[in-house]
Structure formats: structure tokens, C-alpha cells
Chain A
Amino acid sequence: MTASVAGTSLSMAGALNRALADALEDDPSVLVFGEDVGPLGGVFRVTDGLAARFGETRVFDTPLAESGIVGTAIGMAMNGLRPVVEMQFDAFAYPAFEQITSHLAKLRNRTRGNVSLPVVIRVPYGGGIGGVEHHCDSSEAYYTHTPGLTVVTPGTPDDAYRLLRDSIASPDPVIFLEPKRRYWTRGELSDVAVPMDRALVRRTGSDVTLIAYGPMVATALETAAAAVEEGWDVEVVDLRTLSPFDDETVGASVRKTGRAVVVHEASGFGGYGAEVVARVTERCFHHLHAPVLRVTGFDIPYPPPKLEEHHLPSVDRILDAVARLQWDDEVVRGYGA
């Protein structure tokens, strides 16, 4: 086994790189491939140095064809390998959608467990980096709506390392969504083992729960810090794994605080947050003092870079939502309560 990473300070991209390197080191059946992941090291340098260290049989560039990347990964996994593939950007994963939804997600079920597909699909996702169109989508709901997939997204470098290692070790296919705007955030890795399917309370508070994931974990924590001035004690739950959903951790938090706001970058309508709100409402209704609100991107195609700041959930917008949570027990206009 590779040495412990505890105490190492790394960017999220660095932590992911370390996780890939350690997985390649520990398990000869692990392969890393995709577009530009070889000698270049990926457009975000997440695979930097891996081809040189492990050779181009195990870390290699593919033709520029995403359905091909996932379709061949399925065949390789059927033949005993553990492919970890990269989709270069969120929106560039769509050509692979059929292979993901019709085959990768279903083959265990179709074959009654005879075929196991331990494939990890890494997808840099989300906005906030000034990217032009098709480079900033938050595509999580497409995947969480597909039974059979595990959908994971880290919010910190520590989780980036741990969750990627766990995802590679998982017997199930994993969509691993990497919040690209947080690639350069540094943090210390720990040796605390939290099961990948558990959410984590990142900050404890007594008044309201912010439910966030991926790129919005940092924003939620910033909001919690700013809320202190307003007199609110905010709890932040980082979902980590979007599917399967950790009802226990989320429910415990909301039952404690009685108020909740779900935050994500993706458009709200039919989005992942709607599922979270429904689950929280169904399970915690009698503990709620206010409707569970969402702060999400607008229901528009992802904006051009000069306008994206208006689309992305901000600390102010989240604080505004918190302010609407019926603190004086009056009906808030516009929410149909």
C-alpha cells in the first residue's frame, strides 16, 4: 500500500492527482485514459506526470470521442480492469450519455450481478472560471436521475483524495464530478475515514441548515461566516455523494435546526435540489418552521463569462434566502405558504 497522505497540503487538483497515482500504484488493474490525459497531463493537469510514471499502457490518450471512451471502458471493466476515465469538460460528456445510462448504469442489474462495472468517470463540472459556452455545465441531475450510478462530488482537497480513492475501489460505476473552480483551492489531507455514501456536517449551527455540495460547499461556509453578523448560527452539510442520498445525516441536521436552504449552481427547475427539498420535507415536516428553499442557478442556458456572476449562487443570495425563512413565524409572501 502507498504511504499515508495525512498532513500533506495540496490543491484539489493535486489531491486528485495523488489519488490517481496511489490507485495506479496499489492496483495493477487500474487504467487512466481520456483526451489529453497522457503526456500533457490533462487540460487541468489532474493527470500530470502519471503517463511518465506508469507508462502509456496504463495512462493514455484516446481518440477524441467520448462515447468511445466510456464504451470501451465498459468492455475493459467486463474483462477485469478498473478504468478511470476523464471527460474533458461537463458538456463534452454528453456524447457518452447513451453508454452511461443504457449500459454502464444497467449491466449489473441486467445480468443479475454477474457483470460488475467498476468504472469511474471523472467530469470537471460547474462554472465560475470564466469559461466559454459548453465548459461550465452542472450536469449532476442527468446522472442522479439514473439508477445504478453512484454520483460523487468533493468540496475539499481532503475529500477529493478520499472520495476518488473510494470511487476507484467501488464495485459500482461512479460519476465523479470535480468542481473545477475549486481545483486550485489548497487544503490539508487527513486520515479520517468517512464512508463515501455519508454526508458530512462541515460546520455545526443551531438555526438553519445549508445543504450544499461540490463548488457550493465553500460558498456555503462563507455564507455561514457572514451570517454570524446577522445573528444566525448556520450549519453546513456537505452531501459529498449525491446518489445514493444520505437521508440520515441531512434529516438529523434539519430536524435539529428546523430550517433549510439547498444550494447548487445548476438550474433549479427539475434539478437535484428539488429532490433534496422533497426528501427533507417528507421526512422532517413536523420539525420545519419554514418551507425549505433553494438557491440555484436560473433556468437559463449557462451564461457567457461576462454575465456568469449573476447566475451563480452568491453569499448575498444565500443570505437573502436564509432571511426569508419565517423567523417571525409570519407567512412569507410569494412562497405560497
Chain B
Amino acid sequence: MVATRERSLLPTEEPLSLLRKDGAPVTDSPLAMPDDEVLLELHRRMVIGRRFDTQATALTKQGRLAVYPSSRGQEACEVGSVLALRTEDWLFPTYRDSVALVTRGVDPGETLTLLQGGWHLGYDPYQHRVGPQCTPLATNTLHAVGFAHAARVKGEDTAALVLLGDGATSEGDTHEALNYAGVWHAPVVFLVQNNGYAISVPLSKQTAAPTLAAKGVGYGVPSVLVDGNDVAAVYAVVREALESGGPTLIEALTYRIEAHTNADDATRYRTSDEVAAWLDRDPVDRIEAHLTARGLLGPARKAEIAAEAEDFAASVRAKLNVDHEYDPATLFEHVYATPTTHLREQAAALAEELA
């Protein structure tokens, strides 16, 4: 389905794309357009993902989530990359990738456990082949490389997809991970969602490199620059990279429409004109326009998906509106495989204090 292009260490100067801003197909793209069923599914998941995202932001205002880092505007990356994963592949996400997690099938309540504050992680990584959401930036890149290398050692055809942002590319671990992946030829896809800002710091203060994708050549890692608001293109380049058997650095150009989190004030560091320009490049509108123009998406299906998204949002509310009882005794569990005498004593002391 996806044509095999020659893999280059250097990215193209212009981002690869399949859909123009208005949804019309790019005629001379070196990428192969995904099948219609795939495009329809990408659209459906993006609509649901966006509804999830707005629901989560709303839940912070109601005090049900401690904090929520929105990925509004980045749905093409969140959904396109995850749907490109094959069953046996693994995803290594960050704290901003809740939409990617629910797209992968992780329960939305479990996805939000970390941000809701009930525990540091809500899901079993092995259930959906999703590594733990990573908060310290770029550290997950090395986990992905190690995981993928281990798969190769064990003779398994498993690739790892690691999500990171533009800010994370300045962290040392990103460089070490790209270097290790290059030396080991590990099947890892580094998807950099370049959304323009690391909290408030713009890319111009982050790097002097011509593009983030251009950094791949320094590690011998094939690199791709892609339009990160074009879900068809993101899907195509990620799938191609996953099937390549080696490492790939992908920079996807996108934009964080919301502030860093609900606790951030983005008006302090960017203009409303800039945001408006990116709203005009909305990734959901783009795939919708494409599918509509081709007669693949009509009012009936749109209404159906909207209803499904509402149901999903309602299920998220229902899960998050439950007042859980938190057992303090669980604090002492799983620090070590077998509880130590020392921790048993502290658990007993806390229990006595609460008695």
C-alpha cells in the first residue's frame, strides 16, 4: 500500500505532505495515499480524540484533573502515528499524548490517572503495548531504543514509536538515543511533534539547526520532515518508518493551539494572529474536507461520529466524576518486589496514625 521511497539521511527541504491545507490531494507527493478505509478511520479517531481533549480540559476546570496538557491541533500526529503502529509494535508516549493513548485503546480513565492524581500511572504497559507516560523530557527515547533493540535480540519483529516534542530535542537523552539507535540500527521511530513551543520558549531559542529533522544525519539516522497537520502524510511516513527495520527521525510540523497546560497563559508569549493562522490549518478540518470532497464522508457519517465522540466524552466524565477512596496502605506497595521490613514498619506506623 505504501510505496517504498529511498531512505535518506537528510530530510527534504519542504515538509512531505499528501493533503493540501484545503484537503485537496497533493499531486506530486512521493508518499502513497493511505487506503480509503484508513483515511476514514483516521478522521473518526481524530474527531473522537479532539472531543476527549476538550473534555479533559473541561475536567480541569471542575477540579477533576489536577492538570491537563492539551494536544489540540496536534491530532494528526497523535492519531496518525498510533494508527500506523502494527499490532506488535510499542508506543512510548509523553504526558502530552493522552489522545495517542486513547487512540491506542488505553481506557480513558486509566489514561488520565496520572493527571487526575490518583496514582503515577493508570494502565498496565503490557496490555496495550504502551510504555509508561514519561514526564521527564526525552528519557523515553532511550527506553524505546532499548526495547526495540531487545526485540531484535530476541528475534521479534517489533518496532518502537517514541513521541517527543521540539523542546525535548535539546535534552541530552535525545542525542544519546538517536546515536544508540543509529549504531545499533534499532527499529525505532522518533516522532518529534514540533508544535512551536516548549511551554513558552519558541523553537528559535531551542536550536540553530535548519530543521530538527536535519539532526538525524549526525547520527546516521534517516530523517523525514512532514506536515504534522496532514494526517494522511503522518500515517504514511510513520508506517514506512516502522516497516523499515531501522531507526528514523521524523519531524512533524504542527502547533499547540492551547496553552502548555490549563495552568499556563499563552498570551504572554505568542500572538492571537499566530494562533489564528494555525487554526486555519486545522488537521481535522483538512481530512474532513478531503473525505467530503471525495464523497466518502457525508452528513450521516459525520453525525454518527459526533454522537460517538459525545458518548466517549460522557464515559470520560463518568469515570472521572467518581469519588475514589484512596487507601494509604498502597503507598508502600511495589516499591520492591517483596516488601522490606523497613517499609512494613512505616506502613504500620501510618496505619496506626490513621486508626
- Given A71-B173, A76-B146, A80-B150; A110-B120 close (CB under 8 Å): yes
Residues in A with CB closer than 8 Å to B124 are 111, 114
Nearest 9 interchain pairs by C-beta = A75-B146, A71-B142, A72-B146, A68-B176, A79-B150, A75-B147, A75-B143, A171-B337, A244-B340
Is the C-beta of B238 less than 8 angstroms from some C-beta in chain A?
no
Closest to A61 in B: B183
- Given A78-B125, A244-B340, A244-B341; A109-B149 close (CB under 8 Å): no
Taking A79-B150, A112-B330 as given, write out 6 further A-B residue pairs in contact, using a Cβ cutoff of 8 Å, ordered by the A residue number: A75-B144, A78-B131, A79-B154, A81-B153, A108-B337, A115-B125
Closest to B147 in A: A75
Name the one of A68, A77, A247 contacting B179, with C-beta atoms under 8 angstroms: A68
Is the C-beta of B192 less than 8 angstroms from some C-beta in chain A?
no
Residues in A with CB closer than 8 Å to B183 are 63
Is the C-beta of A102 less than 8 angstroms from some C-beta in chain B?
yes
Binding site for B on A (CB under 8 A): 31, 57, 62-63, 65, 67-68, 70-81, 83, 95, 98-99, 102-103, 106-116, 147-148, 150, 170-172, 197, 244-245, 247-248
Residues in A with CB closer than 8 Å to B278 are none
| A111–B132 touching, CB < 8 Å | yes
| Chain B: interface residue total (CB-CB under 8 A) | 40
| A78–B176 touching, CB < 8 Å | no
- The minimal Cβ–Cβ distance linking A174 to chain B, given in whole angstroms, is 11
| A103–B143 touching, CB < 8 Å | yes
Residues in A with CB closer than 8 Å to B179 are 63, 65, 68
Closest to A68 in B: B176
- Given A79-B150, A106-B120, A244-B342; A71-B336 close (CB under 8 Å): no
| B333–A112 touching, CB < 8 Å | yes
| B146–A80 touching, CB < 8 Å | no
Residues in B with CB closer than 8 Å to A148 are 335-336
Interface of B is mostly: helix
Name the one of A62, A81, A244, A248 contacting B180, with C-beta atoms under 8 angstroms: A62
Residues in A with CB closer than 8 Å to B120 are 106, 109-110
Can you list 25 A-B contacts with CB-CB less than 8 angstroms, sorted by A residue number? Answer: A67-B176, A71-B146, A75-B149, A76-B146, A78-B125, A79-B147, A79-B154, A80-B154, A81-B154, A98-B136, A99-B142, A102-B136, A103-B139, A103-B143, A106-B120, A111-B124, A111-B132, A112-B330, A114-B125, A115-B132, A170-B337, A172-B336, A197-B340, A244-B342, A247-B342
| B143–A68 touching, CB < 8 Å | no
Closest to A246 in B: B341
Is the C-beta of B145 less than 8 angstroms from some C-beta in chain A?
yes
- The minimal Cβ–Cβ distance linking B214 to chain A, given in whole angstroms, is 21
Residues in A with CB closer than 8 Å to B150 are 75-76, 78-81
Binding site for A on B (CB under 8 A): 119-121, 124-126, 131-132, 136, 139, 141-151, 153-154, 160, 172-173, 176-177, 179-180, 183, 330, 333-337, 340-342
- The minimal Cβ–Cβ distance linking B36 to chain A, given in whole angstroms, is 35
- Given A63-B180, A80-B154, A148-B335; A72-B142 close (CB under 8 Å): yes
Closest to A83 in B: B146
Residues in B with CB closer than 8 Å to A115 are 125-126, 132
- Report Cα–Cα, A266/B130, bound state, in Å: 41
Closest to B126 in A: A114
- The minimal Cβ–Cβ distance linking B315 to chain A, given in whole angstroms, is 23
| A76–B337 touching, CB < 8 Å | no
- Given A31-B153, A76-B149, A81-B153; A112-B119 close (CB under 8 Å): yes
| A67–B125 touching, CB < 8 Å | no
- Report Cα–Cα, A73/B176, bound state, in Å: 13
- Report Cα–Cα, A110/B330, bound state, in Å: 11
- Given A78-B131, A80-B154, A244-B336; A67-B142 close (CB under 8 Å): yes
Name the one of B131, B146, B333 contacting A113, with C-beta atoms under 8 angstroms: B333
- The minimal Cβ–Cβ distance linking B115 to chain A, given in whole angstroms, is 14
Residues in B with CB closer than 8 Å to A108 are 334-337
Closest to B339 in A: A244
- Given A57-B153, A67-B142, A80-B150; A110-B132 close (CB under 8 Å): yes
Residues in B with CB closer than 8 Å to A57 are 153
Residues in B with CB closer than 8 Å to A65 are 176, 179-180
Residues in B with CB closer than 8 Å to A80 are 150, 154
Closest to A101 in B: B136
Name the one of A78, A112, A150 contacting B336, with C-beta atoms under 8 angstroms: A150
| B173–A67 touching, CB < 8 Å | yes
